Structure 1
Amino acid sequence: MRQLRHKIIGTILISLFLSGWLTAQEKPNIIVILADDLGYSDIGCYGSEIPTPNLDALAKNGIRFTQFYNTARCCPSRATLLTGLYSHQAGVGHMVQDQGSDHEAYRGQLNNRSVTIAEVLKSAGYFTAMTGKWHVGFEHGVTPVNRGFDRSLAAPAGGFYHADKRSRLFLDGRELDVNNAPEIPKNWYSTDLWTDYGLKFIDEALTEKKPFLLYLAHNAPHFPVQAPEEEIAQFRGKYLQGWDKLREARYKKQLALGLIDSSLKLAPDNPIIYKWDTLSDAKKKQYDDMMAIYAAVINHLDKSIGVLVDGLKKRGVFENTVILFVSDNGGNAEPGIDGRYEGDQPGQVFSNVFIGQGWAQAACTPFWMYKHHTHEGGISSPAIVSWPAGIPRKRNGTFEKQPAHLIDILPTLVDLSKATYPTEYKGNKIQATEGISLKPAFIGKPTNRKNPIFWEHEGNRAIRDGKWKLVAERSEKWQLYDLEADRTELHDLSVQYPTIVADLEVKYKEWYKRVHAEPFDKPLNKWFYDYNKLKADSQFSQLK
């Protein structure tokens, strides 16, 4: 009988080991990958036609969040991800311009009342590293080096792929000659450079026998989009169907994947975008080339993810490494309908290509609006979590439908690393985090979010509390949506539920005051179109 018990226990232990649960008792390694301007539908497992087999594989063997939110813009999203605070609380309420001491939410740099994921995890014994775009106050002296990262190869901001006048690189705070530094290869491409250095830093962590945190902040696919010519060529001609049909195709794929429910209708086209059939053949060819470049940038980003994953597997650390992949905002409609198509060889170094509003709308399928805006298109990210040792196999390939936000990343990493979030750090009182741990969601349990999620960027505003979302552009009146039934925000319920509107507005005003947000008085973006006006349109009425 005793031998039988031992045999049964041994079988159970072997089973647990093979399933990864015992290895998960160790502190996991952690990699946070942030894409720049990647829209909700821009990768294959979220509806795209662009080949992204490596990200798709992470999703197939991990989980995908269907309602993961960002802050609608690059700098605020980075501040929020790094600190677990709303960007205003961290000092980056808008971008990196310092508005002065009378505007504490708008100093353009991480403040001393926040701590970063690196500062917190370093205290728990982690080796901390960062590669890529920083963009939270480098020009004000706030760098990876003095915010907790042991090693870093960082750019103060993004906006480049090759060595040109826009590119600056700092290795552990020391500026490199981007054309001649011995530390970096000739003819480097930023997507590959960030990954290669990330693996170098991981090797150092393994040498020191420490768990590692790698924050990998890509430039891709932010403008000006650039990629190797041979990679662009494979996509040319594939977008001559136009952005209208591409958006419809992505929507149908999202339905087929089960990413969205069949009851969810596609948001209407923005009426200020050109109808594809009205364009000349020359214009269609130009726009096709612009999107081909963008697709090549995303495809190359995916290849770099493959290099990273292969590197982790070769080092024997993939199983117990948490990989979180997310984007900083929705697709980018800057600088408007036409985009930009400049340079002798568009897509190559020194060229200047922005994809324009039509393709940005497709990038945000099935939602309304884009980067800058607090309707779902501007604030929704694809989000993938891979952790073979910690996510039960029965969860592999599943969709996690609980809402999540960048404010949740720091609390999640604190939970995973068994770190302690400080109340004081280097003599400064530290603000309490705003987010929650998402670790329960990894295994299919409720996250039990108690507080609403809030947004404010350039006067665009929103609050989500449970299924209810109150949202408005700066020039609009509040709109109320039931996101469980209507995530594409087609049916404004504000008239039917005035009490809910009033309650959410009170909560929003309290938050707005608490984080020291301020009115924004710059001109409206040229790609804006008032949703309230659109709802009177016959096109919109037909969707009802």
Structure 2
Amino acid sequence: MNTVVYFLLLLVSGNVLGREKPPHIIFIVVDDLGWNDVGYNNPVFKTPTIDRLAGSGVKLLNYYVASHCLPSRNMLMTGRHAIQLGIQHDDYGFHPRSLPLNETTIAEPLKHVGYSTHIVGKWHCGFYSDNCLPHNRGFDTFFGFVGAGIDHYTHSDHFNHMHNLRKNDDCIAKKYIGKYSTTIFANEGKDIINAHDQNKPLFLYLSFSAVHAPLEVPSSYLKQYESTIHDEDRRTYAAMTSCVDEAIANITEALEEKNMLKNSIIVFTSDNGGALVNSAGNNWPLRGGKHTSWEGGVRAIGFVYGDLLPRHSRGTENTGLMHITDWFPTLITLAGGNPHVGKKLYGVDQWNMITGKDKSGRDDVLITLQEDYKAGAHYRTGIYKNNAFDITTHAAIKMGKWKLLTGPIGGPSDWVKPQEINSDHRIIEDPDFDATRIVRLYNIEDDPTETTDLSEINQHIVIEMLAKLHNFSKQSLPAQSRIYPRADFDGMGECISPWV
């Protein structure tokens, strides 16, 4: 679309909330943070800043994300569902794949209405071409890394140990070797705030690499858990969370000192549930974890804080249904922009729900739909085998109080107590779990821990939800394939970089 036309469309949406100045938006993502891994859900964890912001803001208790980070982050960036983007899989790997270059990122419309836009930390929306990088997709600056994870001290890539820390196009990893990632990213965020021209609104996307593995943290944060958490990995994980909490305290302090906090909206979210494998996250009492469609994998910690929230909404727990794609239209509209100038969004504007003025703007949430991930021949198709939707497909959908799962479950299906609970029986298995069943229905309102499958006694509900899945399947793009040429690591130089 012509830039002038785009700008005029955005202008006609008017000033946000009747104010002359749109709000500063600070969007904070903590990687792999579990449901049970903040102080307000687990008092063993020391997260006073997170607890204070959440307690003075609006906690989102019915808020869904993807089961792993790549689809969550790409959906957040665009307001479009993973099935609309063809990014249903775990990772781009080192193939020429990315958030499609014809998609609009959240930074672009914000930039068009005058925002200064910055990303600090994890990108994970592709990097095979210079055009994929965030500072070429609407962000003024990029300070961070491009892949799924990094070592928190060496800043080498999680998978191949090459340097993976850059500022725009410059590799800066060597400069920061030995310095802890959370502290580095918080300091960069503070520098951006301190240097910000207050004649413009600020959008700061602060995407921590913690508490993603590897489990590493400065020793000073471990001491407060010596008497309460005896498991070494869990103690380190808790200390990483406390370090993130301190980083957020430093960000809010910088906003206050700059006299920006009163006109700021702070959004806090995890990208998926806590990782139970090769990490020490915990989602108790929810079932499952990262890489599963159980509640522990896809119901995320999330809240909104700010003086711009109406007084009646502050300190509330909101149970309206929300999805990670909803941030795109919600925040762009709040900023005075028009989010509906590109491709059809899956996200809906939820500001009236968040502020308690109205109910949720959605009746259902498609959690996942992976049409190339099917149940094998040994699975039992049962009474729904002739439905229009292929029930062997790995899918999950929430509709009101109901949640439907189809196809293979994938990942651990247990309930896992945290190590700080004094019990020899940490893993609770479902004695009635039948791994060959491929249709499961749960009443999440009455049974949030997903203990009782009600699919056989609520066939009309299942059929209605399968019809919704069938409609979504007709809109779904094929998942991006492993196209070539694969990354040329020898030609990258010091840092993981674009190669096409």
**Both structures adopt the same fold (TM-score exceeding 0.5):** yes
User: Which aligned runs of 4 or more in structure 1 are off by greater than 6 angstroms?
Assistant: none
In 2, Cα distance between equivalents of 1:422 and 1:70:
22
What is the aligned-residue RMSD (CA, Å)? Answer: 2.4
Deviation string 1:477-497 (CA, Å, 9 cap, x unpaired) is: 111122222222222221112
Q: Is residue 126 of structure 2 the alignment partner of residue 137 of structure 1?
A: yes
- Counterpart in 2 of 1:386? 305
Is the CA contact (8 Å cut-off) linking 1:41 and 1:47 kept in structure 2? yes
- Which residue, 367, 385, 392 being the options, matches 1:455? 367
- Which residue, 336, 342, 367 being the options, matches 1:418? 336
Q: Is residue 424 of structure 2 the alignment partner of residue 512 of structure 1?
A: no
Is the CA contact (8 Å cut-off) linking 1:375 and 1:472 kept in structure 2? no
How far has the Cα of 1:70 moved from its partner?
0.8
- Counterpart in 2 of 1:174? 170
Is the CA contact (8 Å cut-off) linking 1:96 and 1:136 kept in structure 2? no
- Which residue, 405, 411, 417 being the options, matches 2:323? 405
Is the CA contact (8 Å cut-off) linking 1:471 and 1:479 kept in structure 2? yes
- Which residue, 27, 43, 47 being the options, matches 2:42? 47
In structure 2, relative to structure 1, the CA distance for the partners of 1:99 and 1:228 (3 Å cut) is: closer
How far has the Cα of 1:377 moved from its partner?
0.7
Q: Is residue 70 of structure 2 the alignment partner of residue 81 of structure 1?
A: no
Deviation string 1:85-105 (CA, Å, 9 cap, x unpaired) is: 1123234221343799xxxxx
Is the CA contact (8 Å cut-off) linking 1:437 and 1:447 kept in structure 2? no
| Structure 2 unmatched runs, 5+ | 1-15, 158-162, 374-393, 410-436, 482-500
Q: How does 1:262-281 map to 2 (within 5 A)?
A: none
In 2, Cα distance between equivalents of 1:98 and 1:225:
22
In 1, Cα distance between equivalents of 2:369 and 2:232:
32
Is the CA contact (8 Å cut-off) linking 2:54 and 2:305 kept in structure 1? yes
- Counterpart in 2 of 1:323? 266
Is the CA contact (8 Å cut-off) linking 2:21 and 2:201 kept in structure 1? no
3-state SS in 1 of match to 2:128: helix
- Which residue, 97, 114, 123 being the options, matches 1:125? 114
In 2, Cα distance between equivalents of 1:434 and 1:308:
31
Q: How does 1:268-307 map to 2 (within 5 A)?
A: 288-307=231-250
User: For structure 1, which segment, 81-90 or 320-329, has the greater mean C-alpha deviation from structure 2 after superposition?
Assistant: 81-90
- Counterpart in 2 of 1:30? 25
Which has more helix, going by share of residues? 1
Is the CA contact (8 Å cut-off) linking 2:368 and 2:397 kept in structure 1? no
Deviation string 1:27-73 (CA, Å, 9 cap, x unpaired) is: 00101101100001210112341110001110121111111111110
3-state SS in 2 of match to 1:33: strand
In structure 2, relative to structure 1, the CA distance for the partners of 1:480 and 1:81 (3 Å cut) is: same
In 2, Cα distance between equivalents of 1:60 and 1:499:
39
How far has the Cα of 1:163 moved from its partner?
2.1
In 2, Cα distance between equivalents of 1:292 and 1:503:
45
3-state SS in 1 of match to 2:397: strand
How far has the Cα of 1:415 moved from its partner?
1.4
3-state SS in 1 of match to 2:460: helix
- Counterpart in 2 of 1:146? 136
Kindly tell me the number of residue pairs found equivalent between the two proteins: 410
- Counterpart in 2 of 1:468? 402
In structure 2, relative to structure 1, the CA distance for the partners of 1:495 and 1:422 (3 Å cut) is: closer
- Counterpart in 2 of 1:497? 458
1:168 counterpart letter in structure 2: N
| Structure 1 unmatched runs, 5+ | 1-20, 101-106, 241-287, 340-353, 424-429, 521-544
3-state SS in 2 of match to 1:306: helix
In structure 2, relative to structure 1, the CA distance for the partners of 1:43 and 1:112 (3 Å cut) is: same
How far has the Cα of 1:499 moved from its partner?
1.7
TM-score by length of 1: 0.71
Is the CA contact (8 Å cut-off) linking 1:374 and 1:473 kept in structure 2? no
1:119 counterpart letter in structure 2: E
In structure 2, relative to structure 1, the CA distance for the partners of 1:172 and 1:332 (3 Å cut) is: same
In 2, Cα distance between equivalents of 1:473 and 1:140:
35
Deviation string 1:106-146 (CA, Å, 9 cap, x unpaired) is: x7411134211101111111110000011110234411111
How far has the Cα of 1:152 moved from its partner?
1.5
In 2, Cα distance between equivalents of 1:422 and 1:512:
23
In 1, Cα distance between equivalents of 2:18 and 2:46:
32
User: For structure 1, which segment, 304-313 or 198-207, has the greater mean C-alpha deviation from structure 2 after superposition?
Assistant: 198-207
Deviation string 1:346-383 (CA, Å, 9 cap, x unpaired) is: xxxxxxxx33xxxx4xx111111100111111001111
Is the CA contact (8 Å cut-off) linking 2:57 and 2:305 kept in structure 1? yes
Is the CA contact (8 Å cut-off) linking 2:63 and 2:300 kept in structure 1? yes
In 1, Cα distance between equivalents of 2:348 and 2:41:
25
Q: Is residue 304 of structure 2 the alignment partner of residue 309 of structure 1?
A: no
- Counterpart in 2 of 1:365? 284
Deviation string 1:411-465 (CA, Å, 9 cap, x unpaired) is: 1111111112253xxxxxx421111112112321224424521122664421112
Is the CA contact (8 Å cut-off) linking 1:96 and 1:109 kept in structure 2? no
Deviation string 1:307-349 (CA, Å, 9 cap, x unpaired) is: 0010100000101100000001111022xxxx4xxxxxxxxxx
In 2, Cα distance between equivalents of 1:386 and 1:164:
31
In structure 2, relative to structure 1, the CA distance for the partners of 1:504 and 1:31 (3 Å cut) is: same
- Counterpart in 2 of 1:218? 208
3-state SS in 1 of match to 2:225: coil
Percent identity at matched positions?
30
In 1, Cα distance between equivalents of 2:36 and 2:97:
30
1:171 counterpart letter in structure 2: K
1:172 counterpart letter in structure 2: N
- Counterpart in 2 of 1:348? none
In 1, Cα distance between equivalents of 2:94 and 2:208:
27
In structure 2, relative to structure 1, the CA distance for the partners of 1:454 and 1:93 (3 Å cut) is: same
TM-score by length of 2: 0.77
3-state SS in 1 of match to 2:456: coil
In 1, Cα distance between equivalents of 2:153 and 2:471:
45
Is the CA contact (8 Å cut-off) linking 1:191 and 1:220 kept in structure 2? yes
Structure with higher Rg: it is: 1
User: For structure 1, which segment, 21-30 or 319-328, has the greater mean C-alpha deviation from structure 2 after superposition?
Assistant: 21-30
Deviation string 1:182-236 (CA, Å, 9 cap, x unpaired) is: xx6x7421111112112222334325x2101011111110000110112223323
Deviation string 1:238-278 (CA, Å, 9 cap, x unpaired) is: 224xxxxxxxxxxxxxxxxxxxxxxxxxxxxxxxxxxxxxx
In 1, Cα distance between equivalents of 2:100 and 2:233:
39
3-state SS in 2 of match to 1:407: helix
1:446 counterpart letter in structure 2: D
